[in-house]
Amino acid sequence: MHSFPEPALARVAQMTEAAAADPARAIAFQGAPGCNSHRAACEYAPDCVPLPCFSFEDALDAVKEGRADRAMIPIENSENGRVADIHFLLPESGLSIIGEHFLEIRYAIMGLTEGPFEAAYSHPQALGQTRHYLRERGITPMSYADTAGAAAFVKEQGDPRACAVSPALAADLYDLKIVEDNVADADDNTTRFVVLARDPLDVAVLAGRPAMTTFIFEVKNIPAALYKALGGFATNGVNMTKLESYQVGASFAASTFYADIEGAPGDQRVDQAMAELAFHCKYVRLLGSYAQARKRG
């Protein structure tokens, strides 16, 4: 908690105390109160008790240790791609994905004064989503741990030349002036979040419902292994909506792949495709099956 800027500490302490009193309703998120993950948690479960955590690891640990029932974690943005490190953190956490949520993203430029500003503080994702806006105005982007924390940091520093790129709610929480609202480089700026819990969702509850399954895998280090591994999804009519590669370790001999497909185990097409995938892989690890929050395609 004490890594947050001073203006956020009292509110973080209050929310942490509330979550400790009712961990079954607590949803952990990364960032200071007022950040987009806070908004996403409250949209996803309006009756939840939001628990702010300084880092993604802290939010995941809160679930593993029983201080929160679930965690709300951003995984990708429509403008700026995947959230850094998430592909490593999710498998390492040992938690399961039980849901997803899509959040429309709008930022405000806020500061102690109405500017002009020389520097803008925010999370790298937010800076990437507003890079054209900042460049056109000659404002230098400065990375901070989260969007609302950046607003608290600007308040703490007291520098009239600095502003924050943050959800409008943060201006009220940290007593800053909104200079411009609804700032975004694209009108359809959207972030996809996943919801994680200690136990996987029973796939039986997904029967007859549009579902998603997320998994990671590493193919055998032989020619055309990836082509053969993915062929089962085509032949069985399973739609793969996401496939990304990333390196684990320093050998660079083989990539690990992160994938989303439509459907869930128990569906014969999915079961056959996953069996064919496993035949061509060193390992396949399911991260979770869950209901679709938005229709694909």
256 is known as an active-site residue:
no
Q: How far is CA 292 from CA 40, 130, 259, 260, in A?
A: 16, 28, 15, 11
3-class SS of residue 40: helix
CA nearest 102: which of 26, 202, 35, 188? 188
Q: Catalytic: which of 29, 54, 56, 193?
A: 193
pLDDT in tens, 262-287: 999 999 999 999 999 999 999 999 99
The first and second tokens of residue 169, run together, are: 């709610």
Query: What average pLDDT does the segment 133-138 reach?
Result: 95
**Over pLDDT 70: what percentage of the chain?**
96
DSSP conformational letter for 157? H
Which parts of 81-146 fold into alpha helices (H)? 86-93, 124-129, 131-136
pLDDT in tens, 59-73: 999 999 999 999 999
191 is known as an active-site residue:
yes
CB of 77 closer than 8 Å to CB of 189: yes
Q: What domains are there in the chain, each with its CATH number?
A: 6-105+190-197 (3.40.190.10), 107-183 (3.40.190.10), 208-290 (3.30.70.260)
| Better-predicted residue by pLDDT, 84 or 24 | 24
Q: What is the pTM of this model?
A: 0.91
What is the pLDDT at residue 90? Answer: 84
CA dist., res. 287 & res. 53, Å (int) = 22
Query: What average pLDDT does the segment 76-92 reach?
Result: 78
What is the pLDDT at residue 1? Answer: 46
Q: How far is CA 112 from CA 117, 127, 157, 177, in A?
A: 10, 19, 10, 6
The first and second tokens of residue 97, run together, are: 């994905």
Q: Catalytic: which of 191, 213, 214, 256?
A: 191
Phi, psi of 140 (to 5 degrees): -80, 125
